[in-house]
Amino acid sequence: MEWYLKVLKSYSNFSGRSRRKEYWMYTLFTIIAAIIAAIIDNLLGTTFKIDVGGTSQSMPYGYIYLIYGLATFIPGLAVSVRRLHDVGKSGWFFLIILIPFVGAVWLIVLMCTDGQLQTNKWGPNPKGDFDAFTGFQQKEQAV
């Protein structure tokens, strides 16, 4: 839960790097909370209704789910961009998801990939001090 709250507290921070654990814990708690919001919508009867062929059909989600989704959209985007920074990609690389099927699969692969051990142009390794871990000095990267 602390990882989820950490992401929500830095909801507008698109710079820096995020660990895999931070990203996946946020994703896990977001999915659980979205399911709970959908269940509450169904219990309270606040689901969206659509008219199909003259009959009213209820969607499995409603206003609470919508509010939760809107509230967590920016923090989710920010942690995704920071996660891409950790693997050495620009945040704009997130747009690869627009390529049907292949884009989503590649983005999942990137989100599962371990971050760069050394400092990259988006900041130091969020797991800790690389020099102290290896005993070696890093070379300065020209930007």
CB neighbour list of residue 126: distance below 8 Å, 6 or more residues apart: 16, 17, 18, 19, 22, 86, 115
Tell me the H-state helices in 45-116. 63-86, 102-112
Quick check: is 140 in a domain? no
Q: Per the structure, how many domains does the chain have?
A: 1
Quick check: is 139 in a domain? no
pLDDT (tens digit, 0 to 9) for every residue of the chain, 143 residues total? 888 888 888 888 899 999 999 999 999 999 999 999 999 999 998 888 888 887 888 888 899 999 999 999 999 999 999 999 999 999 999 999 999 999 999 999 999 999 888 888 988 888 875 444 444 455 555 55
Domain holding 122, by residue range, is: 2-134
pTM of the model: 0.80
